[in-house]
Amino acid sequence: MSERKATIASRVGLHARPASIFAAAVGELPLEVTISLETDPAEDAMDASSILSLMSLGAANGDVVVLRAEGDGADAALDSLVKILETDLDAE
């Protein structure tokens, strides 16, 4: 299983527009991706393609999240998702 950490850059955290953009990107992947706060146990990870899950995660600006995926292309996929999370999507 591949794993990456990312720091939430959007000023409002992973909420509304940033969550929508991120969930859409995850939904385009042929992999199941999970997300959790760095402080949460891995078994509490949520479906990263679900806007509802992302918003209920409560990740604020500056919080560190952990992304996990397994399968062909998981490393590249997670790298691209980290870039999205580490971009202030509210400034665009």
The CATH number corresponding to 2-91 among 3.40.190.80, 3.90.1150.10, 3.40.470.10, 3.30.1340.10 equals 3.30.1340.10
**Cβ atoms 66, 57 nearer than 8 A:** no
pTM for this structure? 0.95
Among 15, 26, 33, 89, the active-site one is 15
Provide the Cα torsion 44, 36, 21, 84; round to 10°.
Answer: -160
Q: Give tens-digit pLDDT for 21-55.
A: 999 999 999 999 999 999 999 999 999 999 999 99
Residue ranges per structural domain of the chain:
2-91
pLDDT value of residue 92 = 64
Active site residue 15: yes
pLDDT score of 15 more than 80: yes
Choose among 68, 65, 5, 60: nearest CA to 32.
68
